[in-house]
Amino acid sequence: MLARKHIRTERRLAEEPNLVSDAELLQLIGQGSEQAFGALWARYGTAVYRVCRGVLRDPAAAEDATQEAFVRIWRGAATVDESKGNPAAWLFVVARNAARNVARVRVPTPATIPETEGEDSHEEALIDRFWVDGVLERLPESEREVVMLAYFADLSHSQIATRLDQPLGTVKSRIRRALGRMADVAEEQ
C-alpha cells in the first residue's frame, strides 16, 4: 500500500511538481528518490543558501554549509514526521545547524559586504519564528500557554500566575518543563 502511494506521488511529481507537498517530497527522498531531491533543491536551494549565508557571511562557507545541509536532508528525510512540525521549518533548522557546524570548523574570512539589518536578518527571524511555532505546537496546552504569555505577551511569572489563577510555583515549573522540551527538540535536529 505504501509503495503504491509513493508511485502515485512520483507520477504527480513528474507531471505537476508544485502540487507535491514538502512532506511528500521528504517521504520520497527517504525512499531514495533523486527526482524528489531535485525538486526539493529547486524549491528550497536558494532559501537554504540564504540561511547559511546569514549565519556565515562568507559565500564559500555558505556554499559548503548548504551542501552539508542537503546531505543531512538526504540522510534524515525518512525521519521527518509532519505531525511533529512543519517540514519546511525542519529544513531551515537543518540549514542553520549545518551553517553553525561549518562556522565551528572554519576560520572566518573577512566579509566583502557590510553586515546590515536587511532582508537576511528578516528571513532568519521568520525562520526562527517558524521553528518556534512548530515546537510550540508539540507542547501540552498548559505549557504552551505559559510560554506564550511569558515570551510573546512579555508577562512576568507573577503576572501569569495572577492571570491564570495558578500558583506561582506551578507557572515556573511549566515554563521550565516547556523550555526543556524545546531544548530537547533543538538537540534532535
Q: pLDDT for 18-54, tens place per residue?
A: 777 888 888 888 888 888 888 889 888 999 999 898 8
Question: Count of domains in the chain?
Answer: 2
pLDDT tens per residue, range 72-98:
999 998 888 877 788 888 888 899 999
Q: How far apart are CA 90 and CA 85, in angstroms?
A: 8
Residues 84 and 176 in one domain: no
C-alpha cell at 85: 512540525
DSSP for 26-59?
A: HHHHHTT-HHHHHHHHHHHHHHHHHHHHHHH--H
Residues 126 and 155 in one domain: no
Global pTM value: 0.53
- The residues near 17 (Cβ < 8 Å, ≥ 6 apart) are 39, 42
- The domain in which residue 175 lies consists of 139-189
